[in-house]
A and B are shown apart, each in its own frame.
Chain A
């Protein structure tokens, strides 16, 4: 800085005041003057000096300028000057060195802007202050403000970004610049946003959130897409900053349906001559933007969803038309090929579409063929040829179908002699004299085999006609032939390139394909060639070829199925040990990954080489090397015993495998069986469940019936208990028998009563007979007084007799009824027994049997159902009978009661009659006494008395007949009751 000052000081030396002095004076004026006009003039003067005396103004005036910004907010003019001055001192752009001698200080002046910026942003409020001025609508303030912030960001990007990020709504305010109707501010706003978003994902997201995509795409459309000027370019650059490596924004871009809006960008007309440089730049950026969205480096999911929507909206189709259009500048064409490559890479629909694209030639050729023609055409630009190779690789990436189609064009059965096919072009390239074509064709063919065992085997069938008269040679053999004869043929370009290409093809072909290995080993000259190559001590250039030869030999060991006796794993290993040496072999092998070009190729799928000489490794091949290197070294170092052991292990493993497969089959069969059985079980289970349900339903029905039945029984029982009848037999047997006994006992009692009654009657009869015999004697003497009571008693007896008769008949009827009831009851009991037995059997069995034998159960169920039905009917009839019985019992009971009452009456009457008899007896005794007294008196008087007795007996004859009748009836009654 002192140096600079010295230089400047020297220049301005003389009578005039030095720049530093002037700046100092001006600064003082700004600081001290109270007049706004005065300050404004001073700031304007500082501005004019700020370019020439940048250091002075920067170091002395910055503080004062910031003060102006803080205090003179109201005056747009002074603010504008201050902002401009600050911009001048911090920006390096204006600092064009007039003198060549200042060139050496150029780097220092670069530092100057950055240092001033650093000082300025030390006070974070300064940035906040600046941001507030960006909200000022006045052009004089806003425009320099925008430029100043842009400069700050350019000088101290990350620091300023961080300050803006944390200042409230900082980013949002800057986004508003895009909405400014004044194009100058909008355009400078674009530049500001570019600097703002550069490398800061958080800001990129906020800017995107503030509708940046929408606005930028609108500007691009308004400006005429690719025909637009530099503004379109700036927009595209900003879009790229927002999207590159920012998955969140890419997702937002895709979800916002902005991919669809890219399609019109590529709608170029038929006339593609005379594209402006700007248009080329714009299109280039547009293509790059597409590639940002589908880069192979993006997360796979993100890329594939973008690829799909690019196909759906027709963007891919649009790109393919550019691909096939005429007059498109070479670099745009190249970039378009690269873009198409990444749009189709690993996406089956897009790959299929690409395979169907035809060039508008006559006859129409597939785009793939047209592109391959360019690849193997040495007159085409190198980058274009690389792009075509990339396109072809992307077409085949994870595309078994495409791989099959390409290989098929080489197979004898499907070959079409008339049309140029991809296979033909690849073979042509493989055996052309141009090493670049050799390499590209070899790599392209390797990609047709990548990870596809079927195509590796298919390609073995390819035979080539060499010269007339000679037998055809297989493609595999031809490749090794060229490899071994490589030195003899005069080629353009690098011999190594050809050999590396062919070796990569062979390695890819043979890896994981024992049949291809066998084919390769079948030619006895191949292995000696490889061993010779590896063991030779050659120059640095050849080391790569040696390494690849070692790799190929390693693959021959690793993927060897020991089908050739001369070249078994064991023999090849011995060969390495004898001819090359294990250490030497691994060292040669390690040449490959150590190579500078190898690591470069490993980074990205796109073949990107600074010069044709650097075209050595293919990205996919580097993956293969990584995969194989370790296993090959392991395979080489394994001792014979280990190998044998491994073989044995393998054999046992195979044996085990066989057993396992056997068991697997068994298990599979059993699985099937189990499955069937399971289904059966399932079906049966469901059936069972259904049956269970019906069983439970029916059981509950039975239960209901039982309950109903029990209810009825209880009712009946109640009736029976009330009337001491026998109908309780409807209950369970035991109770019924008890009831029977009780009934019998009751009957017995009734009988006894009757017996007693009869006994009493007999006594009475006896008494009456006595009376009869006694009465005639009495009558003779005392007939008039005696007649009244005697008549009364006979009348009573008559009544009694009648009543007894009625009673007898009633009892007879009752006993008949009782008999009938008893028999009915017997029947009833029997029926109940059978019914209860049946129902108990049905219910008991059904639950036990249901689980095991459903069918039987069903039958039983049906039976039980029938039974229950019959039971129901029976119950019905029984209940009817019962009600009938009840009625009968009621009536019989009532009659019985009546008869009992009458019995009682009878008894009473009997008692009465006894009393009367007693009275009579007493009377008789009295009369006897009187009679004896009278007889004695008569005797004393001398009169006979015997006649009177005869008269008395005649009177009493009627009584005798009556009592005799009564006795007969009693006898009858006795007889009946005994029955």
Chain B
């Protein structure tokens, strides 16, 4: 149960691109072909290991529907990572990426790591968006990119873990203020002591919050 770091993620993207299925596959290793529309947000969590350190991922899966947009916006600010998902079999979901990205950039903290995900890679025959297009979009906007399949679990682990790696590296580089929980990062109980000195260096306040 003890963890070195806790990262908060959000999953965003158009409705029906498979956000909830990605989360379910990641947390429960299951696939539900028929999934109810997400109302507002749903929570999921899992522990992963990076660099030999236990990292707890808390993931908020948001509703893709426009009517929930105002609710889901409330989650941008406190997230350290975002998975921006589109559906490779539906071009419109790819076309909306710009809007999503603008929204995310506007409401989130500037250091938030965004992973672009082209989901449903198992439906190759119905593909409408080329992998190269996704790669190009990601390159252009400075995102990490990956094609996944929540159905076959292909790349699902990697998507979540690679995002965490990126955040972890940013922490190592000192980009994130780890003592500000509003960034979506929390130091685990076992690490609070070792990081006290670190916070001293940064001149921040002591991390009394975590225990």
Contacts and interface: CB of A to CB of B under 8 A. Distances in A.
Contacts of A251: 43-45
B181 interface: yes
B43 A249 contact: yes
B155 to A, nearest CB: 24
Contact of A202 (B58, B71, B78): B71
A640 to B, nearest CB: 49
Contacts of B58: 252, 255-256
Interface stretch (A163-171, A444-452, A675-683, A912-920): A163-171
Contacts of A210: 78
B74 interface: yes
Interface of B: 1, 8, 40-45, 56, 58, 60, 70-71, 73-75, 77-78, 107, 181, 209-210
Contacts of A165: 70-71, 74
Given A206-B75, A209-B78, A211-B181, A168 B107 contact: yes
A264 to B, nearest CB: 11
A206 B74 contact: yes
12 contacts: A169-B73, A169-B74, A170-B74, A172-B77, A202-B41, A205-B40, A205-B60, A209-B74, A209-B75, A211-B78, A214-B210, A248-B42
Contacts, number: 61
Nearest to B63: A202
B109 to A, nearest CB: 12
Nearest to A248: B43
Q: Is the interface of B mostly helix, strand, loop or mixed?
A: mixed
A166 B70 contact: yes
Given A205-B43, A206-B41, A251-B45, 5 more contacts: A165-B70, A166-B71, A169-B77, A256-B45, A257-B1
A45 interface: no
Given A205-B41, A205-B43, A214 B209 contact: yes
Interface of A: 165-172, 201-202, 205-206, 209-211, 214, 218, 248-249, 251-252, 255-257, 260
B181 A202 contact: no
A810 to B, nearest CB: 85
A251 B75 CA distance: 17
Nearest to A260: B1
B39 to A, nearest CB: 8
Contact of B74 (A171, A211, A248): A171
Nearest to B70: A166
A248 B62 CA distance: 12
A104 B24 CA distance: 58
A169 B72 CA distance: 10
Nearest to B40: A202
Nearest to B76: A169
Contacts of B210: 214
B43 A252 contact: yes
Contact of B45 (A166, A205, A255): A255
A206 B43 contact: no
Contacts of A257: 1
Contact of A201 (B40, B56, B209): B40
Nearest to A162: B70
Nearest to A201: B40
B40 A218 contact: no
A211 B60 CA distance: 13
B121 to A, nearest CB: 28
B45 A252 contact: yes
A166 B74 CA distance: 9
A255 B78 contact: no
A354 B54 CA distance: 33
A209 B60 contact: yes
Contact of A248 (B8, B41, B77, B209): B41
Contacts of B41: 202, 205-206, 209, 248
Nearest to B46: A255
Nearest to A217: B211
Interface centre among A202, A210, A260 (most CB of B within 10 A): A202
Contacts of A209: 8, 41, 60, 74-75, 78
Contact of A206 (B45, B71, B107): B71
B31 to A, nearest CB: 18
Contacts of B42: 248
Contacts of B107: 168-169
B9 to A, nearest CB: 11
A248 B74 CA distance: 16
A221 B41 CA distance: 29
Nearest to A252: B43
A627 to B, nearest CB: 30
Nearest to B74: A206
Return the 7 tightest CB-CB contacts between A and B, nearest first: A255-B45, A166-B70, A202-B40, A248-B43, A206-B74, A252-B43, A202-B71
B142 to A, nearest CB: 24
A260 B2 CA distance: 12
A255 B71 CA distance: 22
A205 B74 CA distance: 10
Contacts of B73: 168-169
Contact of B209 (A166, A170, A205, A218): A218
B55 to A, nearest CB: 13
Nearest to A222: B208
Contacts of A256: 45, 58
A415 B181 CA distance: 60
Contacts of A214: 181, 209-210
A209 B1 CA distance: 20
A909 B61 CA distance: 118
B73 to A, nearest CB: 7
B74 A172 contact: yes
A172 B182 CA distance: 10
Nearest to B210: A214
A211 B8 CA distance: 11
A211 B75 CA distance: 11
A252 B71 CA distance: 18
A210 to B, nearest CB: 6
Contacts of B77: 169, 172
Nearest to A166: B70
A168 B77 CA distance: 11
A800 B147 CA distance: 101
Nearest to A221: B211
Contacts of A171: 74
Contacts of B70: 165-168
A759 B200 CA distance: 131
Nearest to B79: A209
B12 to A, nearest CB: 14
A159 to B, nearest CB: 15
Nearest to A204: B40
A213 to B, nearest CB: 11
Contacts of B60: 205, 209
A206 B74 CA distance: 7
Contacts of A218: 209
A248 B71 CA distance: 15
B43 A255 contact: yes
Nearest to A211: B181
A692 B44 CA distance: 55
A202 B43 CA distance: 12
A687 B133 CA distance: 53
B201 to A, nearest CB: 24
Contacts of B8: 209
A311 to B, nearest CB: 14
A444 B153 CA distance: 49
A214 B75 CA distance: 17
A249 B40 CA distance: 12
Contacts of B71: 165-166, 202, 206
B120 to A, nearest CB: 25
B208 to A, nearest CB: 8
Contacts of A205: 40-41, 43, 60
A252 B44 CA distance: 7
Nearest to B57: A255
B127 to A, nearest CB: 33
A676 B78 CA distance: 63
Nearest to A167: B70
Nearest to A202: B40
